[in-house]
Amino acid sequence: MSAAAQVFVHRDKDEMARAAAARLSARIAEAQSARGSASVVLTGGRNGNGLLSALASSAGRESVDFSRLDLWWGDERFLPEGDPDRNVTQAREALLDSVPLDPARVHAMAASDGPYAGDVEAAAEAYETELAAAARSEDRPGGRARVPAFDVLLLGVGPDTHVASLFPELPGVRETERMVVGVQDAPKPPPVRISLTLPAIRAAREVWLLAAGEDKAQAAALAMSGPGEVQAPASGAYGTERTLWLLDEAAAARLPGDLIQGG
Ligand SMILES: O=C1O[C@H](COP(=O)(O)O)[C@@H](O)[C@H](O)[C@H]1O
C-alpha cells in the first residue's frame, strides 16, 4: 500500500456501493470538466458490480456524460462472448446497457472464442496494443506512456488479496515489463484470464480498492500490513495521485483504528 492510501469504512456493502458510486460519478464529472473526457477501469466481482448497479439507480448518474467516458477493464475471465461469468457481461447487465455510452470507447478484453480463439497470450498482447494506442504523451510527462493515465481504476480485492487477475505468488504479479498478461492457472475459476499488471495499474491517477464482507477482513489487514506485493498483490496497487480503500465494517474489522479516515 502507498503511504498516501486513505481508508473509508461504510456500514455494509450496500452503503459502501452507494457511497462509491456517488464518489465515482463526481470524479468522472470533474475529469470531464477538466480534460473533456474521463477514463475508468472497471473491475469484476461482487463489489465492482455492486458499485455499477448502485450507479445505475443513483441521482449522480445525471452528472456523467456517458458519451465522453472511456471504459477499460482491469481483468477478464477468458470465456466465450456473452458468457455470464465474463466481467464485461456482468458490467453490461449492472449498468452499461442502460446508459448512452459511445461503443468505440468501451474497451472490453477479448473473449476466448473471438479473433484470439484459445490464445490468451495473443489476447493479452492485443489489449496492450489497444492501451498503448490510447495513451498520450501527457499521460507520462518525460517518458513514453504505454497506458493512459486512467482517472479512476477500480479493483475488487479477493479473500486471498488478489486484485484484477494477479494472484499471490503467480507470475503475473511479478511482471515488471508487460502492461497486460495472460494468466493460465488462476486458483479462482476460470483458470485462464487476462489481467493488467501492477505497472499498468500504477499508471492510474486514482486507484480504489473495494472490499466488503467478513471473508475480506483478513485480506484487507494483510494487504495493509506490508508483506509485499508478491504475497499480497493488493498491497502493490496504488495510484499516482490517490489510493483509496473503500470497505464495509465487516471487511475493516481487523484493521488498526488509526488507519481509518471515516465514512
Ligand atoms: O474473479 C475476480 O475476482 C475479483 C474479486 O471478486 P470478489 O467477488 O471477491 O469481490 C475481481 O476483482 C476480479 O475482477 C474478478 O475477475
3-class secondary structure per residue, 114-166: CCCCCCHHHHHHHHHHHHHHHCCHHHCCCCCCCCCCCCEEEEECCCCCCECCE
78 CA from centroid of ligand 1 (Å):
14
> How much is the mean pLDDT over the chain?
95
Q: In which band, very low, low, confident or very high, does the pLDDT at 262 lie, cut at 50, 70 and 90?
A: low
Which of the two residues, 142 and 215, has the higher pLDDT score? 215
- State the fold for domain 6-262: Rossmann fold (3.40.50)
pLDDT confidence of residue 4: 65
Confidence (pLDDT) at 2: 53
pLDDT value at 7 more than 70: yes
Q: Is the pLDDT of residue 45 over 60?
A: yes
Answer yes or no: is pLDDT of 196 > 60: yes
Output the pLDDT for position 256.
79
The answer to whether residues 55 and 49 touch, using CB atoms and an 8 Å cutoff, is: no
Rounded average pLDDT over 70-98: 98
Q: Whose CA is nearest to atom 7 of ligand 1?
A: 45
More confident residue, 263 or 232: 232
Q: With a cut of 0.95, is the ipTM above it? A: yes
pLDDT tops 60 at residue 3: no
Q: What is the residue with the minimal CA distance to atom 8 of ligand 1?
A: 45
Amino acid identity of 43?
A: T
- Domain ranges in the chain are 6-262
Grid cell locating 118: 484459445
Residue of minimum CA distance from atom 9 in ligand 1: 158
Do 13 and 50 touch, CB atoms closer than 8 A?
A: yes
Residue 59, classed as helix, strand or coil, is: helix
Helix (H, G, I), strand (E, B) or coil at 41: strand
Most informative mutation of 49, 157, 192, 245 for ligand 1 (most atoms within 8 A of CB) = 157
Which amino acids bring their CB within 6 angstroms of ligand 1?
43-48, 75, 77, 87, 155-156, 158, 164-165, 188
211 CA distance to ligand 1 middle (Å): 10
Residues β-bridged to residue 73: 42
The pLDDT value recorded for residue 235 is 96
Grid cell, residue 168, equals: 499471490
With a cut of 80, say whether residue 15 has pLDDT above it: yes
Burial class (CB in 10 A: 0-12, 13-18, 19+), 138: exposed
Asked if the model's pLDDT at residue 234 lies above 80, the reply is yes
